[in-house]
Structure 1
Amino acid sequence: MQRICVIGGSRYFGKLLVERLRATGHQVTVINRGSTRPPAGVEHLVADRDDEASLIAALGSRTFDVVVDQVCYTPVQAAIAARAFGGRTRRYVMTSTIEVYDPATAALPTAPTGTPVPEDGVDPATWLVAMDLPWHDEAYLEAHYAEGKRQAEAVFTRTGGFAFASVRSAHVLGGGAQEFTGRLAYYTERIRRGEEIPVHAQALPTVFIHYEELARLLLWAATAADFTGAVNACSDGLLEVRDLAATVAAQVGRKPVYRVVSAGETASPFSCDRHYAMSNTRAKELGFTFSRAVDWLPGAVAEALTASATPTT
């Protein structure tokens, strides 16, 4: 049994992670702002992670074996957490994102065309941190999501007091109505209604992960593995937007209607005009086994179709 603290963990794969940590016998503490209570048997601390004094007061004298941070988006949040948990935990795992590799958001090393990017494509140890940017402005943060995650990783990487690991998640799908971004529902609804799907003329592939697989990987990273640095979390196999739409179409019984976007026009989710895939080799070498995206995608589509057909109350 380990003492695990989860910051966030109130929805989607974070909620599932908390449930699995508890089910496997760990002593779990969840920290959030109080809007959602964790499952029975899980300690609940109410605190605003952006308020350092509030966070430290809520923690009291508690110490942990591992902290899993599900909701760190900025270097400011990372710095607060690093101070609050320094000396309280031996290991800190941050959920990060594939978007740290997006060449549209930063000057990044150019990988050979068609080559999934390994973790050293973004090195937090060398990344510039700017605390004085308007990270507390929601509009700014939304527009600079990838940079916020890069800088948060950089802060933790340079902080002593605990071993740090980041899990850079691929695009997460599955779970029906739990998939709160609505990106898969976008395709089920448009194809069902025969509406156009705006895509790039030459859409390039990206990678995905099922929400249950991501919860399983985070459980592994928190309780079974002892690596530091980043690991990429993606199911095996590259998919492009038309592959996704074809899987939906096969279950809906209608052909997708595509429209090629003009230069500068916004395309549909997962239509990538740049190479946007990452390698999961490091996680495999560390002992994690991934599923294939083509094996779980039909089930995820079926869940999305069921959720969209279920009346809301």
Structure 2
Amino acid sequence: MSTRQLLILGGTGFVGRVMAEEAVARGWHVTVFNRGRAAPPPGVTALRGERTSADGLAALAAGEWDHVVDTWSGAPSAVRAAAGLLAGRAGHFSYISSRSVYTFPPAAGAAEDAPLVDGSPDAEATDYRSDKRGGELAARAAFGADRTLLVRCGLILGPQENVGRLPWWLTRIARGGPVLAPGPRDLPLQYVDARDLAAWTLDAAARGLSGPFDVVSPPGHTTMGELLGACVRVTGSGAELRWTDPDTVLAAGIAPWTQLPVWLPPGPEHAGLHASDVSKALAAGLRCRPVGETVADTWRWLSEPGGVTLKPDRSAVGLDPAVEARVLGLG
């Protein structure tokens, strides 16, 4: 059997990088196409281009691939241009989308047939939700429904995370002392380790799967207590988790999700993010590693020389130490 040829549009940051590393480990021939702002993973062929500029796709004018994976999160028109250029020279297109394409918040137990936001394949960058939906439509318009896999991710964690959610918790807990831990402790969480996402996507592409799949762990795969407890264990800091009820957190003006990453208080928004029905992806082979492994491997990666580089177009996450101290009655 000949070596599979994979093209990743992206391939140097978080999900794209993990995808490239997984494919190389499988013995696939991997080409990455991006702006070249970060070093590519070892073992890949690197092509350079700025896909939003005139002639920015010139490096993709020749070549054939079995599979294409696109991690783009900006203007749908960029997906349209790249997919249109590649449709006659690639067999299958996987677009890394998001559960954000559903009307927010999705109902608890929602699956791939939940109502969707509006989006256009021809749009320039608007907002994340509409852009991801437009990207889906652009991919399908070029490759057709039977050759397009729409990978609708939930919360993504793990090594290489450049958003700063789990890295922030690990760094904060590593400092030790009393830590504001937003409750309830048994609050269920859904997420996917980027490595499990990559493995599932490549398996699905190799099988020629098409259509939308919500790719995230089953509801209750872990809890806030298990996640933060694992952070305490792997850092060895002896930090004291002070569990604080949601009303107290919100009354202090602390923003869920951004100032306290990952966390949302119980309610419709939490259910929309952490109570989705992912039986379709599970039936198609999704396997999710234990939270302790994700946390330990992320801490190991953070501890390597160079540390974490956050994505430049994302706002910083995390809680001001002074606010934390005030809520905990320490200052």
**Partner Cα distance (1:73, 1:302) in 2:** 29
**Partner Cα distance (1:182, 1:100) in 2:** 22
**Partner Cα distance (2:200, 2:142) in 1:** 24
8 A contact 1:29–1:42 mirrored in 2: yes
Give 1:61-72 correspondences, 5 Å limit. Answer: 61-72=62-73
**Partner Cα distance (2:306, 2:131) in 1:** 36
Residue 151 (structure 1) shift: 2.0
Q: Match for residue 271 of structure 1? A: 263
**Partner Cα distance (1:40, 1:46) in 2:** 16
> What SS does the corresponding residue of 2:240 show, helix, strand or coil?
coil
8 A contact 2:94–2:151 mirrored in 1: yes
Q: Match for residue 322 of structure 2? A: none
Q: Match for residue 161 of structure 2? A: 179
**Partner Cα distance (1:305, 1:29) in 2:** 26
Give 1:13-92 correspondences, 5 Å limit. Answer: 13-39=15-41, 41-51=43-53, 53-55=55-57, 57-92=58-93
**The 10-residue stretch of structure 1 (235-244 or 89-98) with the greater mean CA deviation from structure 2:** 235-244
**Partner Cα distance (2:101, 2:164) in 1:** 21
**Partner Cα distance (1:102, 1:246) in 2:** 33
8 A contact 1:190–1:197 mirrored in 2: no
> What SS does the corresponding residue of 2:148 show, helix, strand or coil?
strand
> What SS does the corresponding residue of 1:181 show, helix, strand or coil?
coil
8 A contact 1:204–1:272 mirrored in 2: no
Q: Match for residue 283 of structure 1? A: 281
Give unmatched runs, 5+ long, in structure 1. Answer: 105-109, 136-140
Give 1:131-150 correspondences, 5 Å limit. Answer: 131=122, 135=125, 144-150=127-133
Flag the 1:35–1:243 CA change in 2: closer, same or farther, 3 A: same
8 A contact 2:35–2:48 mirrored in 1: yes
> What SS does the corresponding residue of 1:9 show, helix, strand or coil?
coil
Q: Are positions 1:208 and 2:191 aligned together? A: yes
Structure 1 moving runs of 4+ over 6 Å: 200-203, 308-312
Q: Match for residue 217 of structure 2? A: 235
TM-score by length of structure 2 reads 0.73
> What SS does the corresponding residue of 1:150 show, helix, strand or coil?
helix
Q: How many residues align?
A: 289
Residue 160 (structure 1) shift: 4.4
Q: Tell me the C-alpha RMSD between the 2 structures.
A: 3.4
**Partner Cα distance (2:305, 2:38) in 1:** 24
8 A contact 2:154–2:191 mirrored in 1: yes
**Partner Cα distance (1:47, 1:195) in 2:** 47
Residue 31 (structure 1) shift: 0.6
**Partner Cα distance (1:63, 1:122) in 2:** 36
Residue 67 (structure 1) shift: 0.7
Q: Match for residue 107 of structure 1? A: none
**Partner Cα distance (1:311, 1:198) in 2:** 23
TM-score by length of structure 1 reads 0.77
